Amino acid sequence: MNDIKKQTIEKNIPTWLTILLATACGIIVANLYYAQPIVGAISSTIGLSASGSGFIVTLTQIGYVVGLLFIVPLGDIVENRRLIVLSLLFTAVALAITAVSKQAMLFLAASFVIGLGSVATQVLVPFASYLATDSSRGRVVGNVMSGLLLGIMLSRPLSSLAADFFGWHAVFAMSAIAVFILAIVLLKVLPTRKPSTDTNYAVLLSSMWHLLRTTPILRRRAAYHACVFASFSLFWTTVPQLLSSPAFHFSQKGIAVFALVGVAGAVAAPLAGRLADRGLTRPATGIALLIVVISLLLPLIVQTSSPIGIAVLVVSSLLLDAGVSANLVFGQRALFSLSPEIRSRLNGLFMAIFFFGGAIGSAIGGWAYAVGGWNTALWIGIAFPIVAILYFSTEKK
């Protein structure tokens, strides 16, 4: 095993380890979204009012952002394997608590910890970039990110289906088991990586503002992806409401199947990584942003509840997921080309900024759909990537 670890560090990351890291990212990040489609059932069980049910998802997201800003940067000073495994163990315990919880406060506290521990994904992604050679870094990051994106896209339909068959408690119980097993596997197979940076935690955190101010590529890539992720979150917040409306009459299972079809858009991530390795990040970014605009224009142009209208929505979801997936890989590939000593901090800042953009998109999407309907939501969704394109047009070669 030691020989394998040495070869991994000196040469390149083996295929089996790339697949494992991609799978791990998908399993972990899914925990951020499991509660979204079943929040009503959870609220009624733990005695949470309808007005307070939103706190279940919100606290998980807040925990994730806190982890991005205060735990992910530790990847620059703490041995990475230990940090990942400890985060996963805390997450497994929190998931187990949510699976048996019958009290609102206990469930909400555990939800926060789930979000906090799930940032292990954002320690794993830079970890993969360290193991890859310069010439293959985009491909490796793209493959690993495809697993993360699949986890995001599959989490909601899988949660809906599992809760429908076994009850919502089973969703968290099964995830707790999966995360615990994953922690043991990663402890056994991951090579150790002790960062070379010699600094303390307080100095590490204070340096993040400096990095944000002095790293133009970070600000640009974070802004691009915050815009497209806002559109992504807006679309997936509002399209289930459209499909369940009298015009479409989709059941919960039907909506879950629709979401599963959109998962195919994640194939764009490894393809984007290969384009980035060929030095095509800049033109490909422009194409990715344009694809997001087109994906939201299509359902505006073709508005019908007939099979043609449903087909257009499917194509729209595929294009949207593909554009967002590709743009994410381009951003991380660009950041991971910078100094290895600051990658975890750069990734934490990048993720926190675009995740905040996603939260804005979800909030605006729900409001826009309630006030002006599907068309209003789509026009607002289109505005986000257009802003990104305008900013992108100012980027120098």
Residues 315-369: tens digit of each pLDDT: 999 999 899 989 998 998 888 888 888 888 888 899 889 888 888 888 788 788 8
Alpha-carbon distance of 315 to 106, in angstroms, equals 41
Tokens 């187990």 appear where? 96
Which of 195, 212, 246 delimits the end of a domain?
A: 195
Alpha-carbon distance of 1 to 17, in angstroms, equals 13
The answer to whether residues 350 and 262 belong to one domain is: yes
Q: Where in the chain does DSSP place strands (E)?
A: none
The answer to whether residues 253 and 345 belong to one domain is: yes
Residue-level pLDDT at 292:
96
What is the helix, strand, coil percentage profile of the chain, to 5? 85, 0, 15
Alpha-carbon distance of 178 to 395, in angstroms, equals 43
The answer to whether residues 237 and 181 belong to one domain is: no
Q: DSSP secondary-structure letter at 34?
A: T
Alpha-carbon distance of 73 to 94, in angstroms, equals 22
Number of domains in the chain: 2
Taking residues 272-283, what's their average pLDDT? 86
Residue with more model confidence, 4 or 111: 111
The answer to whether residues 141 and 73 belong to one domain is: yes
Range of the domain at 365: 198-397
253, containing H or E segment:
helix 252-262
Q: Kindly tell me if the per-residue pLDDT of 196 is higher than 80.
A: no
Residue-level pLDDT at 50:
61
Residue 180 class from Cβ within 10 Å (0-12 exposed, 13-18 middle, 19+ buried)?
Answer: middle
Alpha-carbon distance of 59 to 263, in angstroms, equals 26
Alpha-carbon distance of 38 to 162, in angstroms, equals 10
Residue-level pLDDT at 382:
96
Highest average pLDDT, of 5-19, 51-65, 137-151, 343-357, comes from 343-357
Which of 151, 170, 195 delimits the end of a domain?
A: 195
The answer to whether residues 168 and 228 belong to one domain is: no
The answer to whether residues 190 and 281 belong to one domain is: no
Nearest to 360 by CA among 232, 222, 220, 230: 230
Alpha-carbon distance of 150 to 126, in angstroms, equals 18
Residue-level pLDDT at 139:
80
Band of residue 376 on the pLDDT scale cut at 50, 70, 90: very high
Taking residues 37-51, what's their average pLDDT? 79
Q: Is 251 left (phi over 0), alpha (psi -120 to 50) or beta?
A: beta
71's tokens: 């735990």
The answer to whether residues 191 and 202 belong to one domain is: no
The answer to whether residues 385 and 294 belong to one domain is: yes
Nearest to 276 by CA among 76, 131, 132: 132
Nearest to 193 by CA among 127, 138, 144: 127
The answer to whether residues 41 and 185 belong to one domain is: yes
pTM: predicted TM-score of the whole model, two decimal places: 0.80
CATH number of the domain within which 43 lies: 1.20.1250.20
51 contacts: CB under 8 Å, gap ≥ 6: none
Which of 195, 220, 254 delimits the end of a domain?
A: 195
The answer to whether residues 171 and 319 belong to one domain is: no
Nearest to 19 by CA among 11, 27, 10: 27
Q: Kindly tell me if the per-residue pLDDT of 180 is higher than 70.
A: yes
391's tokens: 């900013």
Q: Kindly tell me if the per-residue pLDDT of 158 is higher than 60.
A: yes
The answer to whether residues 205 and 136 belong to one domain is: no
**Range name among 47-56, 123-132, 385-394 with the lowest pLDDT average:** 47-56
Q: Where in 234-375 does DSSP place strands (E)?
A: none
Q: How far apart are the first and last CA of the chain?
A: 44
Residues 242-256: tens digit of each pLDDT: 888 888 888 777 878
Alpha-carbon distance of 266 to 326, in angstroms, equals 8
The answer to whether residues 230 and 178 belong to one domain is: no
Q: Kindly tell me if the per-residue pLDDT of 286 is higher than 90.
A: yes
Question: Which one-letter amino acid corresponds to residue 137?
Answer: R
